[in-house]
Amino acid sequence: MSTPARKRLMRDFKRLQLDPPAGISGAPQDNNIMLWNAVIFGPDDTPWDGGTFKLTLQFSEDYPNKPPTWSPIYDVAAILTSIQSLLCDPNPNSPANSEAARMYSESKREYNRRVRETVRELEGDERFFWELSVNSMRE
């Protein structure tokens, strides 16, 4: 069945293949356009440099129109690029990790040291990935 969400995800996939943003890749899993695997590479010359971050994106039939703070102009490439940009420019006022946000606000030097340490520890760890429900994302 071809719903608006599925059509949009196919269009997003084609666009991502034709013009992939630097440092990210993503594709739907076999036979399920609603479930994607993605990879974000840590930006060069940042504490995240050398990191490889794997994500699973689960889309709903409401994509790209939900949640209320969402804009339908965002495609999969924009979602992944936004996540990647948060690595370099985190928003401590809206943290997913309150301890990291506090450290970032109080001591960027210590925050950067811990990020580099974590990236080194996770290097090559195939078990590390994030599961992300796109409909739970907020700006």
DSSP 38-57: EEEEPPTTSTTTT-EEEEEE
* The amino acid at 133: S
Percent of the chain topping pLDDT 70: 84
Range 73-84 average pLDDT? 83
Domain that holds residue 78: 4-136
CATH number at residue 112: 3.10.110.10
Domains: count for the chain: 1
22-38 pLDDT, tens digit per residue, is: 999 999 998 899 999 99
- 60-64, 90-94, 98-102: least confidently modelled range: 90-94
Q: According to the per-residue pLDDT averaged within each range, which of 9-18, 66-75, 77-86 is highest?
A: 9-18
Query: 49: how many CB neighbours lie within 10 A of its CB?
Result: 14
Per the confidence metrics, is the pTM higher than 0.75? no
Q: What is the pLDDT of residue 68?
A: 45
Q: Is the model's pLDDT at 107 over the cut of 80? A: yes
66-76 pLDDT, tens digit per residue, is: 754 566 777 88
Q: Is the model's pLDDT at 1 over the cut of 80? A: no
- Confidence tier at 128 by pLDDT (50, 70, 90): low
Comparing CA positions, the residue from 36, 33, 64, 82 lying closest to residue 135 is 64
Higher pLDDT, 121 or 12: 12
**Residue 7 tokens, joined:** 């059509």
